[in-house]
Amino acid sequence: MKTTVFSTHKFEEPHLISANKGKHELNLLEVRLSENTASLAQGSEAISLFTSDDASAKVLEKLSTLGVKYIALRTAGYNNVAIEKAAELGIQVARVPAYSPYAIAEHSMALILALNRKLIKAHNRVRDMNFSLNGLTGFDLNGKTAGVIGTGKIGAILIKILHGFGCKILVQDVIEDKNLINSYGVHYTDCETICKQADIISLHIPLVPSTKHLIDAKRISLMKQGVMLINTSRGGLVDTKAVIQGLKTKKIGYFGMDVYEEEEGLFFEDHSDDILQDDVIARLMTFNNVLITSHQAFLTETALTNIAETTLYNLDCFEKQKPSGNEVTVN
């Protein structure tokens, strides 16, 4: 089956080719899907999309006229796809629901440790032959209160890691996980309580209308002075301008982010020779207590293998007209 793969990155290409085993005719494109590039899917019954691709209603309409019937996402999230419009057009959508929750949970912990112990600053100092310890003081994680918002697979693994560091753990989710309560002594509460009591807050929930800007100026005002905020989930969960104000007032003492609400067209690309046009992220980058990675939390060999294998499995199932179990449906 001919499949146009948009936003193909060098780091994933060998995994996709290996998982395909020559079964499908993969047209691997580096360009991201947009209204202007949708025509590149001409002749393909299926397409495959990544995080930065635009599958909004207008784009889907254009794809439908080209004969596209299936979208195989190489991601767990699908907020870049107009799901209701896809259903209306008869375009099926499938995702990769779990590729490596360990990768993202471990990256979250890496951000926590790097920010706390100022590892980037320390590394840069030593490279400049400056071995002073002034300004590098961190804090013991043992005994601190960590707030984990979202106790799905990723959140649950981070809870296990934080428990190993001796943290008291507050959590919030619509469904309580009794195993987490019994194994790690977590306490389920609401978002406001977490904001008021946690020394570290990490976000692990999907971006839906009800969670858009979950962390806004009001909730930041409730937080402890000098709180650490971590977001490796979806950029839109955080009002970035409100975070900047929180950093300026020192309400937020540390901010680690792997996702950004305006990352489309910015992340996953080399802009080293460009003038940065995004004033918001440019301001964020001026803070020495902010650590930004460009949506790389998932980036491990295990995750890339699982993403490729699940994506190709979804394509196989569509070609055979049988469900994969990974379909995205309208609620």
Please list the active-site residues.
234, 263, 295
Cβ density class 135-174: b for 16+ within 10 Å, e for less: eeeeeebeebbbbbbbbbbbbbbbbebbbeeebbbbbbbe
Instruction: Judge whether 260 and 281 are in contact, CB under 8 Å.
Output: yes
Q: Residue 77 has what DSSP assignment?
A: -
Instruction: Judge whether 233 and 206 are in contact, CB under 8 Å.
Output: yes
The structure tokens listed for 34 are: 């947009």
Place of tokens 């406001």: 192
